[in-house]
Every structure is written in C-alpha cells, then in structure tokens.
Structure 1
Amino acid sequence: MSFDFERKQRIAIIGGGPGGYEAALSAAQLGAEVTLVENTGVGGAAVLTDVVPSKTLIATADAAQAIDAAGDLGVQFYAKGAEDKPLKPETAINLLAVNKRILALAGQQSEDMREQLIEAGVNVISGHGRMKGDNAVVISTGPGGTDFDQIEADTIVISTGSTPRELPSAKPDGTRILTWKQVYDLPAVPEHIIVVGSGVTGAEFASAYMNLGAKVTLVSSREQVLPGEDPDAAAVLEKVFTRGGMTLLARSRAEKVENTGDGVVVTLSNGDEIAGSHCLMAVGSTPNTTDIGLEEAGVQLADTGRIMVNRVGRTSIPNVYAVGDCTNLMPLASVASMLGRTAVFHAMGDAVIPFANNKIAANIFTSPEIATVGWTTGEDAVEYKLPIAANARAKMMSVRDGFVKLYARKGSGTVVGGVVVGPKASELIYPISIAVDRRLTVDQLARVFTTYPSLSGAINDAARAMHGINKRGF
C-alpha cells in the first residue's frame, strides 16, 4: 500500500512512554496531526521511575565495583597518614547524592523528549486520556476527574505502560517495603535489603545493591535466578552473586512482609522468617488498562488485562493500536519503541516490517551483563560456547566471568541466536543481532574484521570455531 502524503491524518496517543513517544514523533514526521496525552511526563515510567533511573543506579554500582577491582590490575589507592605512612582509604556511597543525580537525569531526559515532540509539531497535553468509542479521546484531570477536552482521531494508539505488582500481604509503604519506583527515596544504602523476586528486575537491583555495599538476600520461588533465561547465564550470575556474599534462597516463596518499624521481616511459605532493614518487592507488573475506555470500545484484553495486539500493534479494533507494557508483547522499552513506529507507519499506509520475536535483542543489566537475541533453544540449532576468559582483551581487563554463545541452524549454518555474558554485553550483542536479522551464516560472521585485542573478537572466535563444526556437518 502506498502512502498518500496529501492526507492529514489525526492521531491521538494515550501515554507518552517509549512507545507513545516514538509513535508521536514518527507520525508527526510523516505529516499527521498528532496529539499526545500523558499524565506523568513524556517518557513515562520508563524514563521517570524505571529504566533510566535503575540503569543510572547500576552505573554507580558498576563504578564502585570497578574501584574495588582495581587492585587486580595493579592500581592501589592510599592516603598518607602519620609519618607519611600509607593508609588504605575506604570507598563510600553517598546515596542521597546518587539519587539526586538519578532523578535530575530522568527529569532532564523527559524534558528533552517533550521538547523534541513539540519541535516536531506534536500537541502534548498533560492529563488522563481515555477512549470514547474508537474515534475520540476524552482528557480529564485524572481517573474519575473533571473532563476538560476531547480529541477526535482517525487512529488511536494506547501506550499506558504498567505499574509494579503489589501483594496484599506485602503492601509497599515507601519506607521499608518498597517497589522499584520507591528506592530513589532511600537516604542511605540499605544495611540488609531482601529482594523478593529473581526475575530481571529483582536480579538487577540485587546485583546493584550488592556492589553498592549492602548485604543482600534474594528470595526466588524458582530453581534458579532469572527463570526463563539462558541456564548457563543464570549459573554464571549465581556464582558471582554467591562469591560477592549474597544469600540466595531458591524454591522459596514469600508469604508475608511486615514493617517492624526499624526493619522488615519476610515470612516464607515454609514458615521461616528473614529479618532485614528493607525489602524490595520485584514480583512483576500489572498493565495500566483500567478506566481508559477499552472495554466500552470493544478492545480485546487478555485475562491478565493486557491488550491483545498483532505483529504491527493493531488491536481487535482496526483503527486502534497499542504498544508497550500494556500489551501482550515482551515488556521491553526497545520493543515498545519499535512497535510505536511500526504501528503509526501501518496506520498511515507506509511500508512496515511486522514485529518478530526471534529478532529481539534484550539485556539484563546485572554485573556481569547478560544479553540475548533470537532463538537460543531448538532441536534444529547447533550451539557453541566460548568462555570470555579465553579472550585476550578480557584477560587484560581481569574479566573472568562470562561467555559468548552462538546458535546456528543445522545444514545452512545460519546464525539464529546468541547469548553474551560479560562486561558491556548490551553493546556486544549488536553484531550478533545484525547476523540474526540479516540471516548471515557463521562463515560470513567469521569473515568480518574485528580489532585485536577486543572483547568483540570473542564473537569472531566463536563464529570461526563453528565454521569447523559446519565443515564436519551440523
């Protein structure tokens, strides 16, 4: 279908997270009349309370860890004491200053995004948006609040995100029992933080607080941390956590969390109790899909409350699209952004490439980082794993934990997936993502030059090793 640039479409977007932001910007660039309704700030939770703040906190934790590890590289820190005798200084984390920087950075990022939308011609309105049928958005002061505007639209995009899931027996109070939105009010590094939930969010915060100097207990209801992720990667992370002094409680379910005034007590399903100074609840999220007119408009929802969409973000209503954590797709900011662009391109008749799960690159910002792309299981794929410690640059950096793993299709040798565990895995996964997206073979990947020495050379080494396997027959 060709796009008619003479047509001025009216597009209304509810929610300004990564998906809503990209949808608004892309639609405006294609000449649409765009209105974005956002009730917290452009960028949504991803920028203001989730992705940007948490990764900024993790950057501080990484810096603290780098200082502690400097001795392995021959770097020593000392101060001169009495009679010029060297004294080994202690590092300290000023969490008030860290949190101030985090929130300032998040606020500035949100404001920068807002300015970009306005410059592109997007009408940005602060308020609570809800659908009125399938061709209008009503804007109010809040759920059940006063209506103050109504926007007619040819296309509606829902990008309302999600909020931390709360358990009735472990109600967050913002002081001792916390969600990941509330940790930035902590005045100091917790003495002993109990993290309930060992998924991505729980593992990231457990890793960060351990490297910031806190005692950490990680409560996991599953056999391993990061259930559903690559088992080899999870095993590396568990080894690092244990070596760092973290207590891992596998197959343990938290039944109740109580604020005792000067700490918390977590009661497990077997009756055991764990005492700590704080508790972080990382038990998933719930979509923000209530009170926005979805049911009344006939938009199909899953049992979880998430909006059902197809591979271009279209809902059960032809001119209504949804993107981001409020949908049934993978809850990643990058996925939301990609689908936001795809949705408006499709709505406006521009060329689109439907969303594909097997091309998603994802990263877990623990230390070490864990990055994945494509298919990492399957009987028709061959796996090859190369320890990161075998890489020359890793040896120079005293990196000992991690690996590069490639998956290639039997017969053709086409790269179908990969896993990287190590420093900056979020950057190193990119060449593997290109190989997966472009359907390169391991031979083609092996022939690409890498600098020597470099961590990316480990990807090249793994691909060359798979060439030999391919010659013998996958």
Structure 2
Amino acid sequence: MGNSERKHRIVILGGGPGGYEAAFAAAQQGAEVTLVERAGVGGSAVLTDVVPSKSLVATADAVAAVRESEQLGVQTTVPGAAGKPVRPEVVVNFATINKRLMSMAAAQSVDLQHMLEEDGVRIVHGEGRIEAPGTVVVATAKGGKDFDTITADTIVVAVGASPRELDSAKPDGERILTWKQLYDLKEQPEHLIVVGSGVTGAEFASAYRILGSEVTLISSREQVLPGEDKDAAELIQNVFERSGMHVLSRSRADKVERTADGVRVTLADGREVFGSHCLMAVGSIPNTAGIGLEELGVQLTESGHIKVNRVASTNVPSVYAAGDCTNFFPLASVAAMQGRTAIMHAMGDVVRPIDLRNVASNVFTSPEIATVGYSEQDLEDLGELHTRSVVHKIPLGVNPRAKMSGVKDGFVKIIASKRTGVVQGGVIVGPRASELIFPLALAVEHMLTVDQIGSAFAVYPSMTGSISDVARDLHVR
C-alpha cells in the first residue's frame, strides 16, 4: 500500500446492492471510494426491478384484501336507486400505480446517493471500463467525449444483468415488453401473455391477474416455478388456475409478433395465443461485455458471468465481483453480502465466507414462497432424504390466526436431521412468508435444533405458531 498516510483506493463499477453496500463498507473502513454508475444509484434493483415490482405486488395485495374482505363480514356498498345498496367495483388506476412505483424507486435512489455522499463516497456518472490493472476509465458523456481516469488498489465489479432478449420476440416497449418496460404502460393490459414461468414471470402473472387483467402464463416445464420446492410450486399453480389464469404447461413459445391491436404468440406445436401485451421473462444476461474483463484475464463462465469464490474474489488479484454479474446467486441480499465481503477481504478485515445454503429467498407471488437452507431436492440428490433427514409439513389452514384472517392457502415445512434435530432447511408458503421465514433462517445460520425452536414462546394466535407446531412435531427423543 505504499506509505501509511495514503488511503486504500477502491473503485466500484455499478451502484446496485452489490456496489452501494461495498461503497458503504469501504467508507466505514476509511478507504477512498469512487462509485461509477451509469443509470442511478441503486442500480436496476432499485430503479427497475425489485423496488417497483414488489411495490406492484403490494398494490395487488391491497386489491385482493378489499375483494376478500366480504368473507370477513365487511361489505362495501354505495346507495343506488331507491336507496338500495349497490356493490362498488374495485377500480385500479393503472397510470397512478405506475407513476407511484417509479417515483418511489427514484426517491429511494436519491436517498441512497445522499447517504453515500454523506459518507464521503465520490459518485461518478458514466460508463466504466477497466483499462489496465488498477486503472478504470469512465466515459462521463454520451458519445464518450469526456473521460475520467481513476487509479485503484481494489476494483469491485457489480455491473448487474439485463433482461434476455430473443430475436424471435424482440421487445418494442409498447406491446412486447421486458420487465423493465412494464412501468411505461399508461393503461392496464387487457390480456397479458407471460412467456417464462420462473420467479419473474410468476410474480408478474400473479400481480396482473389480481389487478384484473386476463393472464396467460406460458411455461416450458411441467409445473410453474421449476426451481422452487415442488409442494410450493404445485400450490401456487393451483391458486393461479383457481384465479382464472390460463397456465399452458409444457409449452414453448417460438415467436412473438405484433398484430393490429395486440400480440400473437406462436407455440412450438403450432398453436397460437392472442393477447393485448406480452411480457418476456426468459432470464437475464450479465452486463460484463466490453468493460475490459477479458483483456485483464478475469475468468468468465460460458454465459458471461464472472467466476467468484465465497469471498467474492475473481482469479485476478485485487479484482472482486458482486451481484447478478457473478456466477453466484442472483438475489439483492446476496449481492449486498458479496459487496461487503469483498471489501472486508480486500482491506484485511475479519471475513466469513458466504454460505449460500444459509440464504433466505422469497418469491413474491400471492401467496408468497419463502425458502432457506437445504431443499428436499438437494437432500434427495445427496441421497440423505429419509435416511438422515426428516421432513414435516403443516397446512396454514389449520392455524387459528390464518382462520381469523381468511387465509386458506399455504403451509410451513421444516427439514431436520433425524439424529440431532438440527434444522437443515425450511419452506413457508403464505401471506408475508418473506417475514415469517426469519426464525428458520436464524435456525439454519446458527444450527439450532427443532427442540430449541419448539421451546421458544410464539404469540397465540399467530402465523409463527405454525413454525413452533412443526418444530414440536419433529421433537427428537
């Protein structure tokens, strides 16, 4: 590092969760930090992905709550002719919803930028590229006339990913859309066709169906959400079909074209599906091309993701990477952890390598699916399911708080070691599952046993009571 007076210089490419958390951590450690961002602080997680999409889900939840309130004895009526009560419709003002989502995302971005600047982080707006080891060049003007050259002791690459586009279904921002373009719509899609039944496709299909759009979900697999717990995916597909969504399983979209007043999706078997709009949710591509990684010798996967280890190091000394541009786990919380871990490792602080098994994740459908730890599939692949591990599940419908709230769909599932009772994994499907999973995340992180969970007091009545019930049922004598 040269003389002890000089600060450690850190340059971060990308201002998403991986980048901004790295910047906060580096500033806290007393480094000289420069954050390079082309769109806005917060990256796509804040501006176009997580924040607006989960806000849309919150709106859908509010609509569902109003619609379902009648079963709780709440009747919303207005006086009609001769004073007879008439039920009002739940009307969704789509332009207002999208305006709120985007203004909220922008506000979050501005807040983050102020907090970073208060911590002494220098923010450079532009396109960054690694020119040589320890040198980053930023094109700070459109057309690349103005350049800013920055010297770094450590570089953190957190450039994120973009929606994958297919030549046979080119998004036009009007009828054929990526998930980033949905928020530009001025009116609600009459019939939204969603291509892709992974997390993104399922979340938007769920929200738009609740908001009142006709929805067709085209899934190339047997079941929606192929990467999730099988019981959870089956339950969500049942909920989708009950809601009137058209789920086309084992169907592959070959091409998507505009028609006079909408879209036509042609399936591999020749069938045609017509709708007003089409959302392409067919994965994402890392933004790693053309930023100097290959020239520097940074190892990439075939798909262009940066290969990193559990402390976010690449194969090139003093170059780290975090978030969706890496081959790790595309979650905002993981990106943030990678960003912090990279800085701790670079600056010689105490580092705990990230254990992906301990990551809690959530699918924001209605109901939500939250998971942590080993899945049943993981243990089946290891040959340990039923021999060394035990799985127990209780439906949420029997929970007293769920009954009071009119909740019928959902369950709590815990996977534990047969011998020791240590919690190996958990799945919760239900309203606010993202909040309910935390005790199981603590259990997995700290290797707690089912008896330790079962002996803690849960509020009666509460949804968390079902976690205690499952744990007690798994009591090891």
Query: How would you bin the TM-score normalised by the shorter chain?
Result: over 0.9
Q: Report what 1:109 is aligned to.
A: 108
Mapped to 2, the partners of 1:206 and 1:287 lie a distance apart of 24
Contact 1:134 / 1:156 at 8 angstroms: preserved in 2? Answer: no
Mapped to 2, the partners of 1:229 and 1:101 lie a distance apart of 31
- Deviation digits for residues 160-218 of structure 1 (CA, Å, limit 9, x no counterpart): 00000000000000000000000011112111100000000000000000000000000
Deviation at 1:154, TM superposition (A): 0.3
* Amino acid corresponding to residue 47 of structure 1 in structure 2: V
2:98 paired with 1:99: yes
* Amino acid corresponding to residue 309 of structure 1 in structure 2: V
- 1:377-416 correspondence to structure 2 within 5 Å: 377=376, 378=379, 379=384, 380-416=388-424
* Amino acid corresponding to residue 341 of structure 1 in structure 2: R
- Deviation digits for residues 404-450 of structure 1 (CA, Å, limit 9, x no counterpart): 00010120110011000000000000000000001000000111111
Mapped to 1, the partners of 2:290 and 2:143 lie a distance apart of 8
Mapped to 2, the partners of 1:43 and 1:381 lie a distance apart of 41
- The alignment partner of 1:435 has SS state of helix
Deviation at 1:6, TM superposition (A): 7.0
2:333 paired with 1:334: yes
CA change 1:462–1:35 in 2 (3 A) is same
Mapped to 2, the partners of 1:297 and 1:375 lie a distance apart of 36
Contact 2:33 / 2:122 at 8 angstroms: preserved in 1? Answer: yes
Deviation at 1:7, TM superposition (A): 6.3
Q: Report what 1:243 is aligned to.
A: 242
**Which of the residues 459, 464, 467 maps onto 2:472?**
464
Q: Report what 1:363 is aligned to.
A: 362
* Amino acid corresponding to residue 331 of structure 1 in structure 2: P
2:432 paired with 1:421: no
Mapped to 1, the partners of 2:458 and 2:105 lie a distance apart of 35
* Amino acid corresponding to residue 427 of structure 2 in structure 1: V
Deviation at 1:376, TM superposition (A): 1.4
Percent identity over paired residues: 61
Q: Which runs of 4+ in 1 moved over 6 A?
A: 4-7
**Which of the residues 458, 469, 473 maps onto 1:450?**
458
Mapped to 2, the partners of 1:148 and 1:348 lie a distance apart of 28
Mapped to 1, the partners of 2:322 and 2:143 lie a distance apart of 24
Q: How many residue pairs get matched?
A: 466
- The alignment partner of 2:212 has SS state of coil
Contact 1:5 / 1:31 at 8 angstroms: preserved in 2? Answer: no
Contact 1:128 / 1:143 at 8 angstroms: preserved in 2? Answer: no
Mapped to 2, the partners of 1:213 and 1:221 lie a distance apart of 25
- 1:26-425 correspondence to structure 2 within 5 Å: 26-141=25-140, 145-377=144-376, 378=379, 379=384, 380-425=388-433
Q: What is the TM-score of this pair, normalised by structure 1?
A: 0.97
Contact 1:143 / 1:291 at 8 angstroms: preserved in 2? Answer: no
- The alignment partner of 1:325 has SS state of helix
Deviation at 1:352, TM superposition (A): 1.0
Mapped to 1, the partners of 2:314 and 2:458 lie a distance apart of 44
Contact 1:202 / 1:282 at 8 angstroms: preserved in 2? Answer: yes
Deviation at 1:147, TM superposition (A): 4.4
Q: Which runs of 5+ in 2 are unaligned?
A: none
- The alignment partner of 1:169 has SS state of helix
- Deviation digits for residues 51-74 of structure 1 (CA, Å, limit 9, x no counterpart): 001001111111111111001101
CA change 1:416–1:6 in 2 (3 A) is farther
